[in-house]
């Protein structure tokens, strides 16, 4: 019914305008093993911390991670948090930020303290001023939005009720977008949804839908009835209700409702999952996808986001792996495109005292030579990580016409092997950067290499590890296989 390969390929090159409440998200990770002697409060022994762009800015980050250019309009204070956000946005090549500085209000900042071992949020501290921006700042936001509107394919309003999306800003942007025939996606807040009148698609969660319509939303039938009332109130073409572990419900005016189940995943953190949904919906609609295709893509993206820690982003390969029926569904925990997930997996293994091994290659057409190296490598360690060259990397190394299979297909095949515990895609021509990240105790390569030719050998040995060369099966080469197949095809 949907050509998701084409739909996802069409995302690259799209541009989306995002307007909303920008935040600085801090995550402090550690372990709690005792109670403070000063007060009945847990003491967290801090192990690491992360600072990311949050709130509506996370919508922008998710758009950029999909290869979509984002024009972002928001407000910051004249403070350290605002300067940190400005620098972080400037470091994102696909985000074009139009920030309004308001010295009268602090930049919204949230600090979350998280148990590293249990992935449990212990405490959140907020710095914010939840009131509408001043009139002059309001006009500056409108001016930025209307100026950028002609060059975008869709508009997303990310409302966290911190004061950016005032009724006037919201009204001016929606009216201008409708006049320009640009779809408007709203991630709403509050209970008065009449301010979003005329939006193309509105995305409340189940609780927000109940509050906005004052209706019960326990069953699918009740959700559909409430969504229909909301669509009539807002005069929107569609309402998408996110239902956490129960999936999503889409109601398009004049059509039958569509319910989709949530993907079965290990939930690590739900922070920012709604931002990911809004980003994927807006990107898909900018690319002229239909509402149902956009919802199914957003549902898959939410599954990827909640399986990560912190305020997470989703890449096209990750999204494709969830959506398309393939071997990746059985081996979903074994393929990593986002290196933050790699860090998490490595951390779990190290806490268990497991020995980590590493090997790498293009693995364009898997043959017995590859299998021999991988099966010989596995007994040398407790967990085997395989570094896989990206498509661009293979093309640079192997030349025109390579790879024969894209990175996702190659990763799926590798992940299906019992000998492989994790497949990590890297963009560079050599795995040196990835080896530094993995810090393996055993580095394995085929016997067609000499020790002095093994990339990362000095690094691994300096870290107390070893390099092992294993025998290969002679007579097998991907390059030769490709040549023979192409020669046969010409006959």
Residues known to be catalytic: 275
Contact between residue 4 and residue 323 where contact means Cβ atoms under 8 Å apart: yes
Q: Number of C-alpha atoms within 13 angstroms, CB side, residue 302? A: 26
Contact between residue 133 and residue 170 where contact means Cβ atoms under 8 Å apart: no
In angstroms, how far is CA 140 from the centroid of its own chain? Answer: 30
Q: Which residues are within 8 A (CB) of 95 and not within 5 positions of it... i.e. 6 or more apart?
A: 60, 61, 63, 64, 69, 70, 72, 89
Contact between residue 178 and residue 184 where contact means Cβ atoms under 8 Å apart: yes
Burial of 372 (0-12, 13-18, 19+ CB in 10 A): middle
In whole angstroms, how far apart are CA 417 and each of 328, 380, 413?
Answer: 12, 16, 7
Handedness of CA 437, 438, 439, 442 (dihedral sign): negative
SS3 (DSSP) at 42: strand
- 425, β-bridge pairs: 388
State the Cα torsion 486-326-296-304 to the nearest 10°.
-110
Contact between residue 465 and residue 459 where contact means Cβ atoms under 8 Å apart: no
State the Cα torsion 381-382-383-387 to the nearest 10°.
0
């Amino acid at each position: 019914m949907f050509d998701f390969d084409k739909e996802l390929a069409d995302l690259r090159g799209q541009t989306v305008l995002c307007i909303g409440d920008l935040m600085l998200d801090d995550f402090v990770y550690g372990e709690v093993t005792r109670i403070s002697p000063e007060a009945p409060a847990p003491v967290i022994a801090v192990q690491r911390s992360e600072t990311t762009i949050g709130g509506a800015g996370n919508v922008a980050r998710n758009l950029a991670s999909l290869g979509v250019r984002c024009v972002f309009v928001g407000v910051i204070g004249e403070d350290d948090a605002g300067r940190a956000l400005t620098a972080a946005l400037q470091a994102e090549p696909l985000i074009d930020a139009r920030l309004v500085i308001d010295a009268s209000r602090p930049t919204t900042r949230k600090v979350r303290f998280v148990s590293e071992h249990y992935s449990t949020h212990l405490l959140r501290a907020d710095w914010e001023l939840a009131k509408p921006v001043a009139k002059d700042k309001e006009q500056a936001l409108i001016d930025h939005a209307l100026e950028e509107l002609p060059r975008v394919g869709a508009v997303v309003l990310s409302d966290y009720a911190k004061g950016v999306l005032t009724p006037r800003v919201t009204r001016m942007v929606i009216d201008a977008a409708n006049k320009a025939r640009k779809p408007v996606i709203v991630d709403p807040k509050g209970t008065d949804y009449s301010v979003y009148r005329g939006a193309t698609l509105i995305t409340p969660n189940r609780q927000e839908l109940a509050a906005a319509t004052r209706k019960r939303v326990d069953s699918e039938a009740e959700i559909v009835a409430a969504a229909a009332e909301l669509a009539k109130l807002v005069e929107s073409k569609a309402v998408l209700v996110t239902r956490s572990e129960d999936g999503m419900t889409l109601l398009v005016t004049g059509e039958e409702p569509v319910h989709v189940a949530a993907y079965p995943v290990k939930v690590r953190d739900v922070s920012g999952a709604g931002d990911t949904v809004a980003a994927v919906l807006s990107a898909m609609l900018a690319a002229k996808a239909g509402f149902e295709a956009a919802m199914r893509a957003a549902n898959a993206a939410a599954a990827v986001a909640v399986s990560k820690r912190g305020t997470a982003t989703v890449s096209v390969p990750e999204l494709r792996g969830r959506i398309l029926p393939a071997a990746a569904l059985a081996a979903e925990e074994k393929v990593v495109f986002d290196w933050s997930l790699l860090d998490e997996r490595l951390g779990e293994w190290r806490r268990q005292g497991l020995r980590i091994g590493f090997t790498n290659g293009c693995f364009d057409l898997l043959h017995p030579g590859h299998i021999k190296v991988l099966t010989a490598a596995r007994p040398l360690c407790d967990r085997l990580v395989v570094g896989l060259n990206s498509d661009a990397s293979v093309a640079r190394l192997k030349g025109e016409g390579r790879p024969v299979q894209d990175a996702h297909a190659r990763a799926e095949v590798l992940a299906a092997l019992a000998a492989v515990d994790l497949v990590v895609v890297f963009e560079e021509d050599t795995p040196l950067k990835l080896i530094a990240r993995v810090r393996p105790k055993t580095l394995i390569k085929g016997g067609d290499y000499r020790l002095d030719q093994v990339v990362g050998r000095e690094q691994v040995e300096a870290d107390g590890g070893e390099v092992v060369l294993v025998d290969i099966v002679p007579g097998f080469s991907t390059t030769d296989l490709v040549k023979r197949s192409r020669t046969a095809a010409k006959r």
